[in-house]
Amino acid sequence: MDQQKKIIYSWVLYDWANSAFATTVLAAVLPIFYKDVAAFQLPSHIATSYWGYTQTAAMIIIAVLAPVLGAAADYSDSKKSFLKFFIFLGTAATAVLFFVEKGNYITASMFFIAANIGFAGGNVFYDGFLTDIASDESIDFISSLGYAAGYLGGGILLAINLIMISKPQLFFISDSTKAVRISFVTVAVWWLLFSIPAFVNLPSSRVKVKKISFKEQSIIGFRRLKKTFRNIRKYRELWKFLLAFWLYNDGIGTIIRMAAIYGREIGIGQADLIGALLMTQFIGIPFALFFGKMGQHFGAQKGIFAALMVYVFITGYGFFISTARDFWILAALVGVVQGGAQALSRSLYGSMIPRDKSAEFFGFFGVSSKFAAILGPTVFAAVSQLTGSGRNGILAVALFFILGMIMLSAVDVEKGRREARQ
């Protein structure tokens, strides 16, 4: 294997590595553990709300850090060192979740927030390597390859952990709760182990840049964010699309983060919850490709609109579900639309931005979506706490999709593309 292929495969393998955190910790296993063990003494809807507030706290910290880390990625010759730091932070915080005992929901929240910072921070520098290792002709393929590897890697470890939790005796483990704790350690080991090729093979920056202080990076990051915000507002149709995207993408993110603990609140068993979310992972692969074809034939805007209509149905159906079968149906529907909605959103946005500002505008796209993602879990948590039921929280999420659809329908895509070309 030549050196360039080795570099590319090492980069792709990191997505395989860190997606274990996204599936097992973020989406499937930890929310259930939080509800059943860490917050077992709390009323069911309060535990759901506290998990939502934990998500909010994590997203606020990540949103504030993102512009600074973006500047660091651009103005530092130590991207690999930053990547290593956040990997070590994320894996260490994930591993120590093993020690969370009954009633330690505050400790569980703190460890999760630290691990999530490691996950999100590492991704900033991981993404920053893409333009270093890929040509203009290969960048889309390499990016998609990483995306596919992440789905597969995260899904494989989640499947292993599901078997371990469901049949702990096969692994010489005393009980399912102990197996859940061990699953957090498997994520940390998997994440760190498959990051080693990136540590070894990813290149140092091609261009030596002047080292600047953390304070200067902070100033540069937020100045750049402010400048891009002003620039994007000059493109009226693109700006309308961004407003729509922030709304509906916040709804998508809230469902990803809150589905498992909501299902546990209404009495769905642990094995069914994890199994259904595992199914979502694998359904997402072919349907992301299906929505890509739909976008080619009917336009990305119509494809996104179709996905959002399904999401509105999902939130309405979610209000009424009461059985494991209902949850499996819900998870299947999420798998059908989740990847497609996000992939088409990225491509539609890309088609309406000026070519000479693509890096700047895509950077804003990523950072701004992190700020927007704060609201959804907060609304879900607050409504659940105030009304005494997570069912009302899931129903409240429908508002993000409905408002997003209204805003999206007002976007003139062809006019936006002409504005970008001009």
- 3-state SS assignment for residue 204: coil
Q: Which domains does the chain have, with CATH numbers?
A: 1-201 (1.20.1250.20), 224-422 (1.20.1250.20)
Average confidence (pLDDT) over 170-197: 96
Q: What's the whole-number average pLDDT of the chain?
A: 88
Percent over 70 (pLDDT), the chain: 94
pLDDT of residue 233: 85
Residue 91 Ramachandran class (φ > 0 left, ψ -120 to 50 alpha, else beta): alpha
Average confidence (pLDDT) over 8-12: 91
Q: Answer for the pair 340, 285: CB distance below 8 angstroms, yes or no.
A: no
Q: Rounded to a whole number, what is the largest CA-CA distance in the chain?
A: 66
pLDDT of residue 136: 60
pLDDT at 295 over 70: yes
- Please state the pTM of the whole predicted model: 0.85
pLDDT of residue 77: 62
pLDDT at 129 over 70: yes
- Angle at which helix 79-95 crosses helix 176-193, to 10 degrees, equals 170
Q: Which one is predicted more confidently, 207 or 305?
A: 305
pLDDT of residue 412: 94
41-64 residue pLDDT tens: 999 999 999 999 999 999 899 888
pLDDT at 79 over 80: no
pLDDT of residue 217: 73
Binned at pLDDT 50, 70 and 90, residue 286 comes out as confident
φ and ψ at residue 156, rounded to 5 degrees: -65, -50
Helix (H) or strand (E) holding 257: helix 236-265
Average confidence (pLDDT) over 129-148: 72
pLDDT at 104 over 90: yes
Binned at pLDDT 50, 70 and 90, residue 210 comes out as low
Amino acid at 195: S
pLDDT at 344 over 60: yes
Average confidence (pLDDT) over 176-184: 96
pLDDT of residue 66: 77
pLDDT at 23 over 90: yes
Average confidence (pLDDT) over 231-249: 91
pLDDT of residue 208: 53
pLDDT at 311 over 70: yes
pLDDT at 133 over 70: yes
Distance CA 311, CA 330 (A): 10
Amino acid at 236: R
Most confident of the ranges 4-8, 215-219, 288-292, 418-422? 4-8
pLDDT of residue 131: 66
Binned at pLDDT 50, 70 and 90, residue 211 comes out as low
Provide DSSP, 208-225.
Answer: ------HHHHHHHHHHHH
pLDDT of residue 346: 74
371-411 residue pLDDT tens: 778 899 999 999 999 999 999 999 999 999 999 999 999 99
Least Cα distance to 416 among 341, 346, 353, 357 occurs for: 353
pLDDT at 288 over 80: no
**Unique residue bearing structure tokens 């292929």:** 5
356: which 2 tokens? 């000479």
